[in-house]
């Protein structure tokens, strides 16, 4: 049986009318590059127009892997007059992770929807089919627990064992809805995350899922972390070589930037990191830029790496056990 899907127009209506609640007279910026899913871009523009909003498609160049977060200054300037920012760049996450976007969110001058580095399949199947009202409620519940914690430890049978005090001041809920200024979400969506405090993560990460710029590795990649930074990357395949190259050559890419827990129960396990990082019970750990999460490390990359079947402890409480989310007391 073929997987369930929705058509592009229906997906765009969900994003524009329900999750963003675009209103008449608002200004909507849709940021794209040469790798964007243009069918979705056009559908979102149609939804913005039908809502009575003023919209513009802002096209910047695609970026190589070592410059994924580099935003065109001309595009960035347009955000000063933007109410709703929809990021659809295919080659990188610049509009989603830009420092100025974080400032505008903090000032409650903008609301954002990150749809970066995704294909049309991400918008029409899998996690896109979630019950977003229920997902948002669960994300808020997890965020309340998370904000009361101080130290997170993530372990797996594959060998991951990493711990750090967390930035409980900025717990990010990305569960679809961003209907008010200062709110941010993604699509498809379903995660709660925050940053490990800079310089304090210690341990080992064993990457057995896909990541930003890499496929699911045939053999796991082992990353040793000391003082909040990746100090070694070990693995035999091209995925390990690519990750090692970025962490060794891009300034501050070795910073451990984010711990995130997936909540979306209909996300596919299909090798797409943007799909799998939102999948219920998966964890992703990111390297590089942490500005979006309330940190101070600015970096041209933010690299999410998916970890399978994790156990996540927040102080003495188990939030995820062997890949199963456990939010009940």
Residue 287 pairs in a beta bridge with 256, 303
Strand 151-155, strand 161-165: pairing: antiparallel
For residue 204, the model assigns a pLDDT of: 98
Please name the residue ranges forming H helices in 107-250.
Answer: 120-124, 132-147, 238-249
Q: Is the predicted pLDDT of residue 317 greater than 70, yes or no?
A: yes
Residues, the chain, total? 329
pLDDT digits (tens, 9 = 90+) for 43-84: 999 999 999 999 999 999 999 888 888 899 999 999 999 999
Please report which confidence band the pLDDT of residue 245 belongs to, taking 50, 70 and 90 as the band edges. very high
CB within 8 A of 134, min separation 6: which ones? none
Instruction: Using the predicted structure, report yes or no on whether residue 290 has a pLDDT greater than 90.
Output: yes
Tokens 């939804």 correspond to 47
Q: What's the pLDDT score for residue 242?
A: 96
Q: Is residue 17 predicted with pLDDT exceeding 90?
A: yes
C-alpha to C-alpha distance for 289 and 303, rounded to whole angstroms: 8
Percent residues over pLDDT 70 in the chain: 99
Whether pLDDT at 122 is above 90: yes
What are the sequence ranges of the domains in the chain? 151-169+191-320
- Looking at residue 69, what is its pLDDT? 84
Spatial separation of the C-alpha atoms in residues 84 and 34, rounded to whole Å: 22
> Does residue 1 surpass a pLDDT of 70?
no
Strands 256-262 and 283-288: antiparallel
- Rounded CA separation 19/269 (Å): 24
pTM of the model: 0.94
Instruction: Tell me the CB-side half-sphere exposure of residue 10, using CA atoms within 13 A.
Output: 7
For 216, which DSSP code? P
Task: Please give the Cα distance from 291 to 289 (Å, whole number).
Answer: 6
Residue 270 buriedness (CB in 10 A; 0-12 / 13-18 / 19+) = middle
What is the band of 229 on the pLDDT scale with cuts at 50, 70, 90? very high
Q: What is the largest CA-CA distance in the chain?
A: 54
Secondary structure (DSSP) of 289-310: --GGGT-----S-EEEEEESS-
Which long-range CB contacts under 8 A does 312-316 form with residues at least 24 apart? 312/152, 312/153, 312/154, 312/261, 312/283, 313/152, 313/153, 313/154, 313/155, 314/145, 314/146, 314/149, 314/151, 314/152, 314/166, 315/149, 315/150, 315/151
Contact present, 68 and 90 (Cβ < 8 Å): no
pLDDT, tens digit (0-9, with 9 covering 90-100), for 149-200: 999 999 999 999 999 999 878 899 999 999 999 999 999 999 999 999 999 9
Q: What is the pLDDT of residues 93-120, one digit of tens each?
A: 999 988 899 999 999 999 999 999 999 9
């Amino acid at each position: 049986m073929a997987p369930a899907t929705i058509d592009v127009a229906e997906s765009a209506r969900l994003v524009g009318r329900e999750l963003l609640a675009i209103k008449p007279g608002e200004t909507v910026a849709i940021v794209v590059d040469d790798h964007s899913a243009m069918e979705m871009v056009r559908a979102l523009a149609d939804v913005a127009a039908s809502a009575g909003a003023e919209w513009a498609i802002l096209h910047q160049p695609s970026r190589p892997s070592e410059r994924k977060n580099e935003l065109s200054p001309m595009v960035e300037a347009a955000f000063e007059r933007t109410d709703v920012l929809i990021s659809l760049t295919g080659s990188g996450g610049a509009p989603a992770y830009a420092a100025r976007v974080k400032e505008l969110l903090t000032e409650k001058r903008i609301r954002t929807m990150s749809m970066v580095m995704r294909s049309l399949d991400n918008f029409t199947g899998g996690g896109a089919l979630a019950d977003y009202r229920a997902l948002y409620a669960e994300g808020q519940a997890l965020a309340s627990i998370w904000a009361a914690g101080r130290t997170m430890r993530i372990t797996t049978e594959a060998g991951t064992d990493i711990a750090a005090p967390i930035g409980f001041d900025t717990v990010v809920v990305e569960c679809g809805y961003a209907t008010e200024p200062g709110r941010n979400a993604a699509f498809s969506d379903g995660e709660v995350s925050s940053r490990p405090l800079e310089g304090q993560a210690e341990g080992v990460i064993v990457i057995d899922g896909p990541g930003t710029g890499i496929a699911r590795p045939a053999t796991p990649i082992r990353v040793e972390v000391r003082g909040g930074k990746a100090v070694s990357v070990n693995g035999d395949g091209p995925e390990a070589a690519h990750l090692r190259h970025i962490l060794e050559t891009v300034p501050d890419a070795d910073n451990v930037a984010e711990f995130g827990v997936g909540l979306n129960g209909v996300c596919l396990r299909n090798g797409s990191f943007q799909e799998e990082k939102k999948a219920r019970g998966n964890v992703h750990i990111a390297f590089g830029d942490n500005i979006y999460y309330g940190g101070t490390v600015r970096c041209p990359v933010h690299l999410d790496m998916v970890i399978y079947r994790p156990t996540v402890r927040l102080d003495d409480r188990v939030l995820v056990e062997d890949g199963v989310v456990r939010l009940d007391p």
